[in-house]
């Protein structure tokens, strides 16, 4: 739109503005975030900007997706910097709702995407994807986007949101975009801020290990357990500081383990490193590594 960025915290007002845009035939894109914006978010915004007439970014640290003992209280926040970055990225509406408005007393409705939500990260973060599916469904209802853009680093989240939108007949196109990486390969994430300098250096191995597995697959190894064991072994040797939560090779759509591993299967890993929980993935196929 290019008329300067509006910051809206009222749910009613945000919904009214977005409905007007949608009603006027303009194409509306949403990038949902939890703030502490980095270049990964910015690349989603740039893509969304290019493919729409009006760009809305939501900024909300959603308590419902954090489990007891997780990092809700210390999740990094910097509203002033986020406002600047969003302004520069050409955001038209920055939606900054309050938890009390989104989850008022008596709040009782939850969105559960069965099956997909209990795999992989779901096993280690019970209730997490219920919280994610619920808030994203609420954002879709509030902001009525034609398209919504998510990073592929959170591949499971993307698959779950796509299924949710399909199952609930929400008229939104869910778009996944490639992960942005630091020079040494570490996937960009707000949670990287938790890493000590030593941990940060070691963290590059999360992706280096995944790349190695991809090479092994492209060189002819197709046994899932063999490849998973090689990745575990790589992490044991190169990332002794980390505790591996899981390594898996799955079908990229169903998230079920694939045996034998096929081109287009997805290798995924989750590790705890110091105070950070790091996740990453790689598609096992020729071509550009995202
Ligand atoms: O990926 C995130 O930052 C969050 O899970 C999301 C999609 C904004 C929902 O709170």
Residues marked active site are found at 41
Per residue in 94-135, pLDDT tens?
999 999 999 999 999 999 999 999 999 999 999 999 999 999
DSSP code at position 35: S
Cα dihedral across residues 148, 75, 132, 157: positive or negative: positive
Residue closest via CA to ligand 1's atom 1 equals 33
Q: What is the pLDDT of residues 268-289, one digit of tens each?
A: 999 999 999 999 999 999 886 6
Q: What atom of ligand 1 comes closest to residue 61's alpha carbon? A: 10
Task: Report pLDDT for 220.
Answer: 97
Domains and CATH numbers, the chain: 6-177 (3.40.50.620), 190-281 (3.30.1300.10)
Predicted pLDDT of residue 290: 59
What is the per-residue pLDDT for 61? 98
Q: How far is the CA of 260 from the centre of ligand 1 (A)?
A: 32
The tens digit of pLDDT for each residue in 236-264 reads 999 999 999 999 999 999 999 999 999 99
Phi, psi (deg, nearest 5) at residue 9: -105, -15
Helix (H) or strand (E) holding 84: helix 79-88
**Which pLDDT belongs to residue 287?**
81
* Residue from 94, 143, 157 whose mutation best tests the ligand 1 pocket (most atoms within 8 A of CB): 157
Q: Specify which residues 246 forms β-bridges with.
A: 270
CA 91 distance to own-chain centroid: 19
Question: In the prediction, which pLDDT does 288 show?
Answer: 66
CA of 132 to the centre of ligand 1 (A): 6
Summarize pLDDT for 130-155 with one digit per residue, the tens: 999 999 999 999 999 999 999 999 99
The answer to whether residue 92 scores a pLDDT higher than 70 is yes
User: For residue range 35-48, what is the model confidence (pLDDT) as tens digits?
Assistant: 999 999 999 999 99
What is the Cα 159 distance to its own chain's centre? 10
> Which pLDDT score, from 0 to 100, does residue 266 have?
98
Residue 10 has pLDDT above 70, yes or no: yes
Percent of the chain with pLDDT over 70: 98
- Mean pLDDT of the residues in the chain: 97
Looking at the DSSP bridge assignments, the partners of residue 37 are none
Question: CB neighbours of 195 closer than 8 A, spacing ≥ 6?
Answer: 203, 273, 274, 275, 276
């Amino acid at each position: 739109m290019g008329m300067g960025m509006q910051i809206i915290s009222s749910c009613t007002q945000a919904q009214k503005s977005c409905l007007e845009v949608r009603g006027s035939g303009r194409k509306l894109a949403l990038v949902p975030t939890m703030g502490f914006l980095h270049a990964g978010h910015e690349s989603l915004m740039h893509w969304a900007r290019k493919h729409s007439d009006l760009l809305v970014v939501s900024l909300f640290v959603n308590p419902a997706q954090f489990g007891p003992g997780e990092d809700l209280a210390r999740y990094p926040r910097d509203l002033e910097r986020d406002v600047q970055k969003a302004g520069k990225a050409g955001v038209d509406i920055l939606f900054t709702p309050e938890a009390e408005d989104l989850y008022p007393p008596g709040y009782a409705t939850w969105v559960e995407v069965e099956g997909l939500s209990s795999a992989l990260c779901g096993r280690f973060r019970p209730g997490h994807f219920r919280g994610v599916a619920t808030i994203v469904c609420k954002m879709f209802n509030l902001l009525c986007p034609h398209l919504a853009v998510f990073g592929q680093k959170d591949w499971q989240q993307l698959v779950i949101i796509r299924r949710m939108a399909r199952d609930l007949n929400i008229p939104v196109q869910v778009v996944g975009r490639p992960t942005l990486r630091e020079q040494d390969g570490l996937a960009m994430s707000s949670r990287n801020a938790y890493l000590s300098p030593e941990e940060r250096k070691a963290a590059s191995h999360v992706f280096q290990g995944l790349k190695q597995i991809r090479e092994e697959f492209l060189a002819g190894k197709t046994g899932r357990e063999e490849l998973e064991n090689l990745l575990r072994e790589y992490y044991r040797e190169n990332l002794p500081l980390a505790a591996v939560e899981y390594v898996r090779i799955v079908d990229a759509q169903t998230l079920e383990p694939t045996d034998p591993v096929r081109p287009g299967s997805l290798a995924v890993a989750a590790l705890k490193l110091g105070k950070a929980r790091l996740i990453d993935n790689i598609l096992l196929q020729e071509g550009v590594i995202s």
